Each structure stands twice: as structure tokens, then as C-alpha cells.
């Protein structure tokens, strides 16, 4: 019985780590990222992120969560176009994003509210800024 305690502890620890990773929902995906407000720097939830593969008909969509997070897990390695849409923000397209096998692309996207584009110089805030991490 004494020898089983370390083994049991190891099995429980492994199970806990596996469950914790599964519950985060933010494991490596081929394409993932965060959308924030360019002015307030706060996460923007409810942004519809659309992915269209070049030469293919149809799109795949995801919606950002409360943390501004989005992810796509079932995308093949190819060139895609992205579109970000939400009422109250400038819609934006990002074209020719290359997805590679066994590589995760992480984007940080900043939107500027539509009302701010009329009041401020467009050079002050980008409509969309994407930082790519591989």
C-alpha cells in the first residue's frame, strides 16, 4: 500500500493538469488571438471573425469571448483572408495570411470605434493593428 501512494498522487496530478488545460479553451490553435479597443485597450467581446480560404467558397466564423479571445482549430495549412466585424467599430479585412502546418499564428487586433474616426486624426490610432507571433 505504501508504494501505491506516490503512483496514485502522480495519476491524480496528471488528471488535474489535463482537465485544467482542457478547461482553458485557449490551447494552441492554428489561428488564434485577441481583439482589443484601440482607445481603451480593453477586450472587445462579440466581434465576428471570419476566415475565408483563397479559392474556396464559404467562410468559417468565430466570435470573441469576454476576454476578446478567438480561435480556429479546423483550418488547413493554406492562405486565408480574415474579416473582423462588430457594430460600433470599423470593419476590417486582413488578406493573404499564410497558415502553416504545425505552426500557430497568434494575432493581437486593435479596433478603433467608429465615432473616434470622425473626431480624431486617422494617423493617431490604427483602424486595425495586427501583431503576429509564431
Which pLDDT value is given to residue 20? 45
In a domain, 112, yes or no: yes
Q: Which residues pair with 91 in a beta bridge?
A: none
The Cα 63–Cα 71 span in angstroms is: 9
In a domain, 43, yes or no: yes
CATH number at residue 111: 2.60.40.1120
Asked if 99 contacts 80 with a C-beta cutoff of 8 angstroms, the reply is yes
Domain, as residue range, for 124 = 28-133
In a domain, 6, yes or no: no
Which pLDDT value is given to residue 122? 46
pTM for this model (two decimals)? 0.66
Domain count, the chain: 1
CA 49, 71, 60, 131 dihedral sign is: positive
Mean pLDDT, each 10-residue run in order, the chain (134 residues)? 58 49 58 94 96 85 97 89 95 88 90 67 49 56
Which pLDDT value is given to residue 63? 97
The Cα 66–Cα 73 span in angstroms is: 19
Amino acid at each position: 500500500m505504501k508504494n501505491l501512494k506516490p503512483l496514485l498522487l502522480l495519476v491524480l496530478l496528471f488528471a488535474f493538469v489535463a482537465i485544467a488545460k482542457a478547461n482553458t479553451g485557449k490551447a494552441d490553435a492554428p489561428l488564434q488571438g485577441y481583439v482589443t479597443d484601440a482607445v481603451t485597450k480593453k477586450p472587445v467581446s462579440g466581434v465576428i471573425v471570419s476566415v475565408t480560404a483563397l479559392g474556396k467558397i464559404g467562410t468559417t466564423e468565430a466570435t470573441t469571448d469576454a476576454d476578446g479571445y478567438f480561435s480556429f482549430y479546423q483550418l488547413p495549412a493554406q492562405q486565408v483572408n480574415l474579416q473582423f466585424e462588430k457594430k460600433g467599430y470599423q470593419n476590417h479585412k486582413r488578406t493573404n495570411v499564410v497558415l502553416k502546418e504545425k505552426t500557430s499564428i497568434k494575432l493581437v487586433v486593435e479596433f478603433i470605434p467608429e465615432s473616434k474616426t470622425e473626431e480624431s486624426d486617422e494617423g493617431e490610432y490604427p483602424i486595425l493593428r495586427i501583431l503576429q507571433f509564431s
